[in-house]
Structure 1
Amino acid sequence: MLRLLLCVAALSRLAGANTESIPAEIDISSCSISYFGQVYDKLYVGSDSGKLTVCFKAAYSSGADNDCLVASLSTVTQVSWLKEDNVVNAGSDYHTTLKFTGSSSCGAILNLKDANGKVHINYHFRTFGKLAGMQIKLEDTTASLAVDVQVGGKQLHQWSLTKKVTADTKDLSGCRHLGAAYETNTKGCDSKGQSVACSSSAAVSTASCGQTERCKGNGECLFDAICTVTGPEVIDINGQVGSVPDRCGYSLLSGTGFKLFAVFQERRRKDVSFVDHVILHLDAKNVNIQLGPGRNAKVGDSVQSLSSSPKKVHDVELSKDQTGVTAKMTLNKYVVSIFFDGTTAQIQMTGPGAGSLQGLCVNSKKTLSEVKSSDHSLADCEKKLTETPDVKPDCVAMTKHCNLLNEAPFTSCHAHVAPKPYIDVCTKTLCKYPAVDGLQCQFLEAYARACSTYSSDSLTGWKSKASCSAPQVVCQDTDCITHEFCGQDPVGRPRCLCRAKFADKYRSADTLGDKTVCKKNSASVSLPSCLLAEKGIDYSILRLNDETCKGQMDQKTRMVMFDYNSQKACGAVITAKDQKIIYENTIKTDDSGSSGEIYRHGSVKMDFSCFYVQPEVHDFIFKLKGG
């Protein structure tokens, strides 16, 4: 301490010092100073808005990317400075207080004064190889002084000085790596996701994390991986791609205390499946939490009312926003977050390691029979179905579209999430399935969301470049039943459309509904509402010849029934001939009071007839004759 006091006393005199008015630019190239891993040849002393600033990179400017010492002191107008040529060896305050090693051959001393020449504060800089320190003394009679230590324009920490402290020794040592500063004896993560360590001797070292690991804020490489299930494909935590060709339920992820399943279903075509919903099973509670179909959540059979504020159910946090629904839980050291938007499921896992986890998300190449869930699979769900497409997709155009993931702005995320698996699943699906129901943007959206998990880059502009709108929220509350899925009708409206397997018997017969049923005094016909929706027809605007006779929807089966009888003929033409009762009627568009919505698709006319012979019933199907 004696050496420090003598040194500080000498600061007041500074024989042979240069005195300049502030702002001042001081050349210290003959004794360069190290400041948190960066060596500088100049000091910039200034006074700005009541702040005394000593900067190393450039003159002080609030918010600028600069390295500075900023003190709340407004009285300083002059600086006296001197290069110190003496050698400081082991045993100094730098060595005993800061545990430095080695020696320092020179230093720089600053005396900061007011207009009357009174010294208010002393700075004494010394560099010891890669280490650096500063002795600082508050000469002012003020009770205290705060000095902000800024690196890159951001406060690293703050020093507090009082007049009771004769002097203090501060550590300016650190490391620089990829534009970021690190204090000695600390670890962190760099912009490439590597672990960075700054040793006690200010030596920097880096280590790459494993494929399923992520560098966390403390510089540790921890298991943190994402699995994406979109369309019929599973991109596992290792970037492998596996396909689900059928309509069964499979285990995505299982660990101690929980299991996660995905159920696949067909949509417009029988030979292509899509993830329909995911089911989280909690072993201890013996309860299922289901996300989807669509953007909803069920606990058991109870549909949950959710918002952006998490709702805790059985220790699982459930939330919902305009993009989808999320379930998050912590179980046996694992944190699992499951997101589902009606088309894509993304599962993020963090924890002690992947070793104890199983399922397609861990290895998408597993034999499907090994991970099939009998509890969530219907009979014959694994049976392969074939279908000849009406129009073959333009694979060249779709491949070009999918390869947008190789271009900006997606390139900014390539270091965090490999684009190739997403390009592969996009190309594979769109080369055999029509780009409808938002499918063309689904795979790009899945990549962008995976990117947002590990990067703050917003990928600005990708939607306009890919001709994609914001995530569809229209299906969020569209409640379809088992044989339906939420898609877009011919004018892009969200509707419950028919799954291909259900619709097959109607399409093969070229009909829009079941056979007409004739009885002695009545006739009726049922139309699946999903078949009408495919053609952009809203059942509520249809009627029989009598405009008061409209179809009635059965909410459980979603069948629309039109019927009439001898008491209410509904405009039917009923004739008797050759011991037959003949019924004739027409399902048509209700033109009365139209607001224009009806005519967007043209008028509709469906004639149907049947006859009744005691005791036999002869049924006829009906077809769309106009529209």
Structure 2
Amino acid sequence: MLLPLLYLFAFAGLADASFTILVNDNTQVDTSDCPITYYGQEYTTVYTNFTGEDLFVCFNGYYNPEGNGDCIRVPNTDNITYFILNNKNDPSYWTDLTNFVHSSVSTVTNNVTCYLHFPYKSSMALLGMGSQSVVYWYNPPPTFISVLVNGHLVENVYAIQNTEVLSDTSGCRISGLGVKPGTTRLNLETCSSMTCSNSRIASMETCSLPGQCDGNGTCSVKGLCTVTGPTVIDFSGQINSVSDRCEYSLLHDQSTGFSLKANFLERRRRDVSFVDSLTLDFSERDDIQLLQGHRVTVAGSPVTLTGSVQTFSGVDLSKDQTGVTASFSVNGLSVSVFFDGTTARIYTETSAGGSLDGLCVDSSNVSSSMLSSDSSCQDQYEDPADDTIDCAAVTQQCDILKSAPFSSCNLYVDPEPYIIACRSTLCKYPSVDNLRCQFLKAYAKACEKKQVDLQNWWTTAQCHHPQPICGDKCSDHEFCGDIHGNTDCRCRAIFASQYTEQNRLGGPTVCQDNTASLTLVGCLLKEKSIDYTHLHLNDQTCTGVIDPDSHMLKFSFSSDSCGTEVTTNNSQVIFTNAVVTRNSSSDVITRQDEVFIEFSCSHPKPELQNVAFKIIDNSVEVFLQSGEWKYSVTMKAYSDAAHTQLLDPKSDVRLNQKIWIVLETNGLDEDVVSVVTDSCWATSEDSPNSVPRYDLIRDGCANAQDGTVSVMGNGEGTSNSFSFNMFEFSGKGTSEVYLHCQLQLCVKKNNNCVPGCSVAARRRRSLRHRLGFPALISMAWTQ
């Protein structure tokens, strides 16, 4: 193929050329008759100049070693060449050359329509092909021909003497750099990966945030994200604030599913939120939570940390007096997380891998980083402005970050985001709980990462070393803060508002039957300087019971206890008591307000009933056999708890009068078996299966719906008893009440015969050692 193409250029080309120029100096030529598309740019002018060693053919100006030329460098020490432009308008004329180019350069598909030819001792031609072009070099010395875009080398094409070389020069231009079709080029300065497809479609992958290019081709994630109070300062130093009480993703790796989550909650004000806890969600491993009070849980269970590093689920955890640190690696990303209850610091330093997002990557992307499914966390509140806050003074206090000793770090860490975070929060939220110093400390820690030590900054800023923390004392509706100069658990604003807006210290009175209870909020009492241990009811021996988890203080009384006063009006019986402060004659002074909280319950006054019931049989006895056991069961009714006043057919039993039923057996060895009253119920007819039916005992336990029923000694021996208040069936024409009880024998083993009737579980334990079938015994009353 070499000889026909040489002939085409050397002879036919000259004969049919549009024009030919001898070039021995800097020359500018109009080539609009043969436009050349060179790496995405179409050119209609060619500039030639010599350097003594080379010929430079450029399209956007004469070659300048310091410039940004689009040029081709050809060795030429003679400083002379010809310039030939050929655009013969005959498609058949270009057929051989087109076929040769297509067979030699796989990325070229267009037909040759013209060329720019530079023959001398060796020849170089630029083949015009519409949107494509090819540089063609033949009969060269053994050396390089260089292709430049914007002054940057795209490729050095090496050729051996008496050969021919072709190179596609219609590739992609990406960020000012040339990329050959079908290749990828890395920009080391920006860590950009630029790809040009065979069809000349350009694409680029860059070192995106939070990655940073080191200038040598390595894209690394090295940055600090600070979450302090409601504000997030991301890896790039941009700032945003969280205005609600939702959970957000701070850092999320899409390839592994790992997510670092932050939950925000209110404190003294309802309209200002603070970062309250962090969750390390590893998807395939146990979650780790960093909580208030320097507490940590792994898979929901608390762990005890010390200053020494301990590893849980691949995470290194440690704790000191300032907070908790968690260090781990996920998908090649090394992360260190610190949390002290008010400020979270997330530091990363590693080669960028995977796709990262979250507020630490882009703090402006709040909506897509929200994780909470409960929309109530988004409810917005607006509390009255705090007139004690002087915003001008706050600004001055926050601007200290631009003064010594902080100013020595200003060149390394921009103080402005931290100043904005400090100012925007403290112009709305009171500067209490060491909050101002938290913002200053966040900046000082960022300076430490840049190896800038702000020694004794807290003295200049009039800050104190870390204050004592509440540990695990605070409940979910509390936070650790200052109360009258002491560090203790305060009420969160939204929780407290349901009481304070009604000027109350607790909930409403709860009334049930002849009992009443009142619950006071422990953290509200503390904020009012009220010591709950000094509170009691009218009877000083009746004190409140504090819940160790919720810190709620509960007082309870009945109509005949704790100094309760009982009064009546026309239709109500009223039980009244009060929570008061204990007074002691030995107390010379007191530092707490006197407390007087009266609460009461009212019930309809019982109507007088002239109806009286009489027992039909004062004693019922049945004889039974169960296996080898032959025994009798007797049911008796009494009007007193001591079982001394036996009811008989002459005894009147009024409605709501308490009676006691005793079930006794004869013929059983109480060391071997026990009697279990499995169920007792009442019917209005003598059949135990008739309806209506009213249960007094179910599964061995008193009916929880009827507060008058009590069961004694069930399953403990060969006898037991129960009590209830007498009743009649509503709307029934008959006045009879039939009482039925079903009993079982149970072999004693490890107290397994006693029904479990705790408040939490009203179901009786399975009696695995039952004997025989249940026995039924009945008793009846009538008006």
**Partner residue, 2:538:** 545
Do residues 486 (structure 1) and 476 (structure 2) align?
A: no
- Alignment-mate amino acid for residue 462 of structure 1: W
**Partner residue, 2:400:** 404
Deviation at 1:522? 2.6
Do residues 307 (structure 1) and 306 (structure 2) align?
A: yes
- Paired with 1:379 and 1:212, the residues of 2 have a C-alpha distance of 30
Q: Residue deviations 1:208-241, cap 9 Å, x none?
A: x99978999x9x9953211000111100011100
- Contact 1:543 / 1:590 at 8 angstroms: preserved in 2? yes
**Partner residue, 1:240:** 238
**Partner residue, 2:90:** none
Deviation at 1:502? 1.5
**Partner residue, 1:599:** 590
- Alignment-mate amino acid for residue 259 of structure 2: K
- Paired with 1:378 and 1:342, the residues of 2 have a C-alpha distance of 23
Instruction: Give the fraction of aligned pairs with identical amino acids, expressed as a percent.
Output: 44
Q: Assess, with a 3 A threshold, how the Cα gap between structure 1 residues 548 and 237 changes in structure 2: closer, same or farther.
A: same
Do residues 378 (structure 1) and 374 (structure 2) align?
A: yes
Question: Normalization by structure 1: what TM-score?
Answer: 0.59
**Partner residue, 2:412:** 416
- Contact 2:231 / 2:242 at 8 angstroms: preserved in 1? yes
- Paired with 1:227 and 1:442, the residues of 2 have a C-alpha distance of 15
* Match of residue 450, structure 1, among 446, 453, 472: 446
Deviation at 1:387? 1.7
Q: Residue deviations 1:572-591, cap 9 Å, x none?
A: 43333444333443323335
- Contact 1:410 / 1:462 at 8 angstroms: preserved in 2? yes
- Paired with 2:289 and 2:522, the residues of 1 have a C-alpha distance of 26
Instruction: Name the count of aligned residue pairs.
Output: 397
Deviation at 1:408? 1.1
Do residues 321 (structure 1) and 330 (structure 2) align?
A: no
**Partner residue, 1:536:** 529
Question: Which runs of no fewer than 5 residues in structure 2 stay unpaired?
Answer: 1-206, 607-783
Deviation at 1:479? 3.2
Do residues 259 (structure 1) and 259 (structure 2) align?
A: yes
- Alignment-mate amino acid for residue 273 of structure 1: S
Q: Residue deviations 1:76-132, cap 9 Å, x none?
A: xxxxxxxxxxxxxxxxxxxxxxxxxxxxxxxxxxxxxxxxxxxxxxxxxxxxxxxxx
- Alignment-mate amino acid for residue 283 of structure 1: S
**Partner residue, 2:279:** 279
Do residues 471 (structure 1) and 466 (structure 2) align?
A: yes
Aligned 1:510-529 pairs, distance under 5 A = 510-529=503-522
Do residues 364 (structure 1) and 363 (structure 2) align?
A: yes
**Partner residue, 1:391:** 387
Deviation at 1:355? 7.2
Aligned residue for 1:599, secondary structure, equals coil
**Partner residue, 2:555:** 562
* Match of residue 222, structure 2, among 221, 224, 246: 224
Q: Residue deviations 1:466-487, cap 9 Å, x none?
A: 2221112323x13322222222
* Match of residue 568, structure 2, among 572, 576, 586: 576
Aligned residue for 1:447, secondary structure, equals helix
Do residues 590 (structure 1) and 582 (structure 2) align?
A: yes
- Paired with 1:390 and 1:516, the residues of 2 have a C-alpha distance of 33
**Partner residue, 1:338:** 337
Deviation at 1:295? 1.3
Aligned residue for 1:582, secondary structure, equals strand
Q: Assess, with a 3 A threshold, how the Cα gap between structure 1 residues 545 and 448 changes in structure 2: closer, same or farther.
A: farther
- Paired with 1:401 and 1:282, the residues of 2 have a C-alpha distance of 40
- Paired with 2:587 and 2:239, the residues of 1 have a C-alpha distance of 49
**Partner residue, 1:269:** 269
- Paired with 1:594 and 1:468, the residues of 2 have a C-alpha distance of 41
Aligned residue for 1:351, secondary structure, equals strand
- Contact 1:323 / 1:473 at 8 angstroms: preserved in 2? no
Aligned 1:144-183 pairs, distance under 5 A = none
**Partner residue, 1:149:** none
Aligned residue for 2:262, secondary structure, equals strand
**Partner residue, 1:28:** none
Aligned residue for 1:444, secondary structure, equals helix
Q: Residue deviations 1:559-609, cap 9 Å, x none?
A: 21112223432x34333344433344332333559999x934x23312313
- Contact 1:241 / 1:364 at 8 angstroms: preserved in 2? yes
Deviation at 1:340? 0.4
Q: Assess, with a 3 A threshold, how the Cα gap between structure 1 residues 574 and 333 changes in structure 2: closer, same or farther.
A: same
Q: Assess, with a 3 A threshold, how the Cα gap between structure 1 residues 608 and 214 changes in structure 2: closer, same or farther.
A: same
Aligned residue for 2:518, secondary structure, equals strand
* Match of residue 614, structure 1, among 579, 593, 604: 604
Do residues 460 (structure 1) and 450 (structure 2) align?
A: no
- Alignment-mate amino acid for residue 419 of structure 1: P
- Contact 1:278 / 1:290 at 8 angstroms: preserved in 2? yes
Q: Assess, with a 3 A threshold, how the Cα gap between structure 1 residues 587 and 309 changes in structure 2: closer, same or farther.
A: same
Which deviates the most, 502-511 or 388-397? 388-397
Aligned residue for 2:554, secondary structure, equals strand
- Contact 2:219 / 2:352 at 8 angstroms: preserved in 1? no
Q: Assess, with a 3 A threshold, how the Cα gap between structure 1 residues 355 and 414 changes in structure 2: closer, same or farther.
A: farther
Deviation at 1:406? 1.1
Deviation at 1:323? 0.3
**Partner residue, 1:191:** none
Higher relative contact order (CA 8 A, sep 6+): 1
Q: Assess, with a 3 A threshold, how the Cα gap between structure 1 residues 269 and 317 changes in structure 2: closer, same or farther.
A: same
- Alignment-mate amino acid for residue 434 of structure 2: G
Deviation at 1:343? 0.5
Q: Residue deviations 1:350-379, cap 9 Å, x none?
A: 11138732110011011x2211114xx533
Q: Assess, with a 3 A threshold, how the Cα gap between structure 1 residues 453 and 533 changes in structure 2: closer, same or farther.
A: farther
Aligned residue for 2:392, secondary structure, equals helix
Which structure has the larger Rg over C-alpha atoms?
A: 2
- Paired with 2:341 and 2:513, the residues of 1 have a C-alpha distance of 47
Deviation at 1:440? 2.1
- Paired with 2:516 and 2:371, the residues of 1 have a C-alpha distance of 44
Question: Normalization by structure 2: what TM-score?
Answer: 0.48
Calculate the aligned-residue CA RMSD, in Å: 3.0
- Contact 1:516 / 1:608 at 8 angstroms: preserved in 2? no
Do residues 434 (structure 1) and 430 (structure 2) align?
A: yes
Q: Assess, with a 3 A threshold, how the Cα gap between structure 1 residues 582 and 526 changes in structure 2: closer, same or farther.
A: same
Question: Which runs of no fewer than 5 residues in structure 1 stay unpaired?
Answer: 1-208, 617-627
Q: Residue deviations 1:516-544, cap 9 Å, x none?
A: 23445332211121221222333233222
Q: Assess, with a 3 A threshold, how the Cα gap between structure 1 residues 441 and 590 changes in structure 2: closer, same or farther.
A: farther
- Paired with 1:591 and 1:388, the residues of 2 have a C-alpha distance of 38
- Paired with 1:610 and 1:337, the residues of 2 have a C-alpha distance of 56
Deviation at 1:453? 2.5
Deviation at 1:407? 1.1
- Contact 2:332 / 2:353 at 8 angstroms: preserved in 1? no
- Alignment-mate amino acid for residue 343 of structure 1: T
Q: Assess, with a 3 A threshold, how the Cα gap between structure 1 residues 473 and 382 changes in structure 2: closer, same or farther.
A: same
